[in-house]
Amino acid sequence: MSDRLPHEKGFHVSWDQLHRDARALAWRLDGKGPDEGNWRAVVGITRGGLVPAAIVARELDIRKVDTISVKSYSHQEQREAKVIKPTQPDIMENGGEGVLIVDDLVDTGNTLKLVRELFPKAQFATVYAKPKGAPLVDTYITEVSQDTWIFFPWDMALQYVQPYRGTE
Ligand SMILES: O=P(O)(O)OC[C@H]1O[C@H](OP(=O)(O)OP(=O)(O)O)[C@H](O)[C@@H]1O
Ligand SMILES: Nc1nc2[nH]cnc2c(=O)[nH]1
Ligand SMILES: [Mg+2]
Protein backbone atom coordinates (compact mmCIF):
# COMPACT_ATOMS: atom_id res chain seq x y z
CA MET A 1 0.00 0.00 0.00
CA SER A 2 1.16 3.52 -0.69
CA ASP A 3 1.76 5.96 2.17
CA ARG A 4 0.40 8.65 -0.17
CA LEU A 5 -3.27 7.69 0.26
CA PRO A 6 -5.82 9.03 0.80
CA HIS A 7 -5.60 12.24 -1.20
CA GLU A 8 -7.56 15.00 0.50
CA LYS A 9 -8.30 16.97 -2.62
CA GLY A 10 -8.94 16.45 -6.32
CA PHE A 11 -7.75 18.72 -9.10
CA HIS A 12 -9.82 17.98 -12.20
CA VAL A 13 -8.27 19.06 -15.48
CA SER A 14 -10.37 19.42 -18.64
CA TRP A 15 -9.02 18.88 -22.17
CA ASP A 16 -9.20 22.60 -22.71
CA GLN A 17 -7.26 23.38 -19.54
CA LEU A 18 -4.63 20.78 -20.32
CA HIS A 19 -4.22 22.19 -23.83
CA ARG A 20 -3.76 25.72 -22.44
CA ASP A 21 -1.31 24.57 -19.78
CA ALA A 22 0.73 22.45 -22.22
CA ARG A 23 0.86 25.44 -24.59
CA ALA A 24 2.01 27.63 -21.71
CA LEU A 25 4.77 25.09 -21.07
CA ALA A 26 5.82 25.26 -24.74
CA TRP A 27 5.79 29.07 -24.55
CA ARG A 28 8.09 28.98 -21.54
CA LEU A 29 10.49 26.57 -23.27
CA ASP A 30 10.49 28.37 -26.61
CA GLY A 31 13.99 29.34 -27.73
CA LYS A 32 15.67 27.84 -24.65
CA GLY A 33 17.21 24.79 -26.38
CA PRO A 34 21.01 24.55 -26.69
CA ASP A 35 21.22 24.61 -30.51
CA GLU A 36 20.22 28.18 -31.44
CA GLY A 37 17.29 27.80 -29.09
CA ASN A 38 16.23 24.42 -30.54
CA TRP A 39 16.02 20.94 -29.05
CA ARG A 40 17.04 17.91 -31.08
CA ALA A 41 14.10 15.77 -29.86
CA VAL A 42 11.13 15.57 -27.52
CA VAL A 43 10.65 12.46 -25.36
CA GLY A 44 7.27 11.84 -23.75
CA ILE A 45 7.21 9.69 -20.62
CA THR A 46 4.30 7.34 -21.27
CA ARG A 47 1.61 7.25 -20.86
CA GLY A 48 0.79 10.57 -19.17
CA GLY A 49 3.48 12.53 -21.01
CA LEU A 50 2.20 11.59 -24.47
CA VAL A 51 -0.44 14.30 -24.88
CA PRO A 52 1.66 17.17 -23.43
CA ALA A 53 4.70 15.99 -25.46
CA ALA A 54 2.64 16.08 -28.67
CA ILE A 55 1.39 19.60 -27.89
CA VAL A 56 4.90 20.88 -27.02
CA ALA A 57 6.38 19.25 -30.16
CA ARG A 58 3.70 20.91 -32.29
CA GLU A 59 4.21 24.35 -30.78
CA LEU A 60 8.00 24.25 -30.94
CA ASP A 61 8.10 22.53 -34.36
CA ILE A 62 10.13 19.58 -33.09
CA ARG A 63 9.68 16.69 -35.51
CA LYS A 64 11.70 14.05 -33.72
CA VAL A 65 9.43 12.63 -31.02
CA ASP A 66 10.20 9.51 -28.99
CA THR A 67 8.87 7.82 -25.86
CA ILE A 68 10.18 6.18 -22.74
CA SER A 69 7.72 3.95 -20.88
CA VAL A 70 7.85 4.13 -17.11
CA LYS A 71 5.31 2.51 -14.86
CA SER A 72 5.16 3.42 -11.20
CA TYR A 73 1.48 3.59 -10.23
CA SER A 74 -1.39 1.16 -10.33
CA HIS A 75 -4.41 3.46 -9.94
CA GLN A 76 -3.43 5.65 -6.91
CA GLU A 77 -1.01 3.13 -5.40
CA GLN A 78 2.68 3.76 -5.91
CA ARG A 79 4.99 0.91 -6.86
CA GLU A 80 8.67 0.79 -7.77
CA ALA A 81 9.32 2.80 -10.96
CA LYS A 82 10.46 0.61 -13.87
CA VAL A 83 11.48 1.39 -17.44
CA ILE A 84 9.43 -0.95 -19.60
CA LYS A 85 10.48 0.55 -22.96
CA PRO A 86 13.60 2.68 -23.57
CA THR A 87 14.05 5.38 -26.23
CA GLN A 88 15.99 4.83 -29.43
CA PRO A 89 19.73 4.67 -28.62
CA ASP A 90 20.61 7.93 -30.45
CA ILE A 91 18.31 9.92 -28.13
CA MET A 92 20.52 8.86 -25.21
CA GLU A 93 23.76 10.09 -26.82
CA ASN A 94 25.73 12.68 -24.78
CA GLY A 95 23.56 12.04 -21.74
CA GLY A 96 20.49 13.28 -23.60
CA GLU A 97 21.96 16.72 -24.23
CA GLY A 98 19.58 18.79 -26.35
CA VAL A 99 16.62 16.53 -25.54
CA LEU A 100 13.43 17.82 -23.95
CA ILE A 101 11.74 15.25 -21.71
CA VAL A 102 8.06 15.87 -21.00
CA ASP A 103 5.66 14.34 -18.49
CA ASP A 104 2.18 15.30 -17.36
CA LEU A 105 3.20 15.73 -13.71
CA VAL A 106 5.80 15.10 -11.08
CA ASP A 107 4.55 13.83 -7.71
CA THR A 108 7.14 12.13 -5.47
CA GLY A 109 9.78 12.51 -8.19
CA ASN A 110 10.50 8.75 -8.41
CA THR A 111 9.75 8.58 -12.13
CA LEU A 112 11.93 11.58 -13.00
CA LYS A 113 14.74 10.41 -10.74
CA LEU A 114 14.93 7.21 -12.76
CA VAL A 115 14.74 8.99 -16.12
CA ARG A 116 17.30 11.61 -15.04
CA GLU A 117 19.80 8.84 -14.36
CA LEU A 118 19.44 7.79 -18.00
CA PHE A 119 19.46 11.36 -19.40
CA PRO A 120 21.59 13.45 -17.02
CA LYS A 121 21.99 16.33 -19.50
CA ALA A 122 18.40 16.55 -20.79
CA GLN A 123 15.91 19.29 -19.96
CA PHE A 124 12.91 18.09 -17.89
CA ALA A 125 9.47 19.67 -18.15
CA THR A 126 6.08 18.80 -16.66
CA VAL A 127 2.75 20.54 -16.84
CA TYR A 128 1.93 20.06 -13.13
CA ALA A 129 4.14 19.56 -10.09
CA LYS A 130 3.72 18.66 -6.43
CA PRO A 131 6.24 20.11 -3.91
CA LYS A 132 8.10 16.86 -3.23
CA GLY A 133 9.01 16.29 -6.87
CA ALA A 134 9.21 19.91 -8.08
CA PRO A 135 13.02 20.21 -7.54
CA LEU A 136 13.50 17.42 -10.11
CA VAL A 137 11.87 19.43 -12.93
CA ASP A 138 13.54 22.29 -14.79
CA THR A 139 10.25 23.84 -15.94
CA TYR A 140 6.61 23.36 -14.94
CA ILE A 141 3.42 25.43 -15.12
CA THR A 142 1.16 24.81 -12.11
CA GLU A 143 1.96 23.54 -8.61
CA VAL A 144 -0.66 21.66 -6.57
CA SER A 145 -0.37 20.51 -2.97
CA GLN A 146 1.06 17.10 -2.12
CA ASP A 147 -2.30 15.82 -0.82
CA THR A 148 -4.04 16.57 -4.13
CA TRP A 149 -4.73 13.91 -6.75
CA ILE A 150 -4.73 15.28 -10.29
CA PHE A 151 -7.40 13.82 -12.56
CA PHE A 152 -6.64 14.08 -16.27
CA PRO A 153 -9.28 14.38 -18.99
CA TRP A 154 -8.55 10.87 -20.29
CA ASP A 155 -9.53 9.49 -16.86
CA MET A 156 -12.86 11.32 -16.66
CA ALA A 157 -16.27 11.55 -18.36
CA LEU A 158 -19.01 14.19 -18.36
CA GLN A 159 -21.82 13.31 -15.99
CA TYR A 160 -24.83 14.83 -14.28
CA VAL A 161 -24.29 16.47 -10.85
CA GLN A 162 -26.99 17.24 -8.29
CA PRO A 163 -27.63 20.95 -7.67
CA TYR A 164 -26.37 22.27 -4.30
CA ARG A 165 -30.04 22.79 -3.23
CA GLY A 166 -31.96 19.57 -3.66
CA THR A 167 -35.59 19.51 -4.86
CA GLU A 168 -37.47 17.54 -2.18
O1 LIG B 1 6.65 11.63 -9.42
P2 LIG B 1 6.05 10.28 -9.29
O3 LIG B 1 5.59 9.98 -7.88
O4 LIG B 1 6.89 9.19 -9.86
O5 LIG B 1 4.67 10.29 -10.12
C6 LIG B 1 4.53 10.87 -11.38
C7 LIG B 1 4.26 9.85 -12.45
O8 LIG B 1 3.08 9.09 -12.12
C9 LIG B 1 2.21 9.06 -13.25
O10 LIG B 1 2.54 8.01 -14.13
P11 LIG B 1 2.07 6.49 -13.90
O12 LIG B 1 3.22 5.71 -13.35
O13 LIG B 1 0.81 6.47 -13.10
O14 LIG B 1 1.79 5.92 -15.32
P15 LIG B 1 0.95 6.53 -16.56
O16 LIG B 1 1.67 7.76 -17.01
O17 LIG B 1 0.99 5.45 -17.56
O18 LIG B 1 -0.44 6.84 -16.07
C19 LIG B 1 2.46 10.39 -13.93
O20 LIG B 1 2.08 10.33 -15.30
C21 LIG B 1 3.95 10.56 -13.77
O22 LIG B 1 4.65 9.91 -14.82
N1 LIG C 1 -3.44 10.97 -12.59
C2 LIG C 1 -2.48 11.11 -11.65
N3 LIG C 1 -1.43 10.27 -11.65
C4 LIG C 1 -0.50 10.45 -10.69
N5 LIG C 1 0.63 9.76 -10.44
C6 LIG C 1 1.20 10.29 -9.34
N7 LIG C 1 0.48 11.30 -8.86
C8 LIG C 1 -0.59 11.42 -9.69
C9 LIG C 1 -1.72 12.30 -9.69
O10 LIG C 1 -1.90 13.20 -8.85
N11 LIG C 1 -2.63 12.07 -10.70
MG1 LIG D 1 3.32 8.71 -16.08
pLDDT digits (tens, 9 = 90+) for 80-121: 888 999 999 999 999 999 999 999 999 999 999 999 999 999
At 6 the pLDDT is: 72
Cα-to-centroid distance, 106 and ligand 1 (Å): 7
39 vs 62: CA distance, rounded Å: 7
- Listed in sequence order, the residues at least 6 apart from 160 whose beta carbon sits closer than 8 Å to its beta carbon are none
pLDDT digits (tens, 9 = 90+) for 15-72: 999 999 999 999 999 999 999 999 999 999 999 999 999 999 999 999 999 999 988 8
List, in order of start, the domains of the chain with CATH numbers.
9-155 (3.40.50.2020)
At 1 the pLDDT is: 36
ipTM of the complex: 0.99
pLDDT digits (tens, 9 = 90+) for 148-159: 999 999 999 999
For the CA of 136, the nearest ligand: 1
User: E strand or H helix at 114, and its extent?
Assistant: helix 110-118
Cα-to-centroid distance, 55 and ligand 1 (Å): 18
Query: Ligand 1 pocket: which residues have CB below 6 Å?
Result: 45-48, 71-73, 81, 103-111, 133
At 79 the pLDDT is: 73
β partners of residue 38: 35
Q: Which are the catalytic amino acids?
A: 103-104, 107
At 168 the pLDDT is: 62
SS3 152: coil
99 vs 113: CA distance, rounded Å: 16
Which residue from 72, 78, 103 has its CB within 8 A of the most atoms of ligand 1, so it is best to mutate?
Answer: 72
11 vs 112: CA distance, rounded Å: 21
The arrangement of strands across the sheet holding 65-74 comes to 77-85, 65-74, 41-46, 99-106, 123-129, 139-143
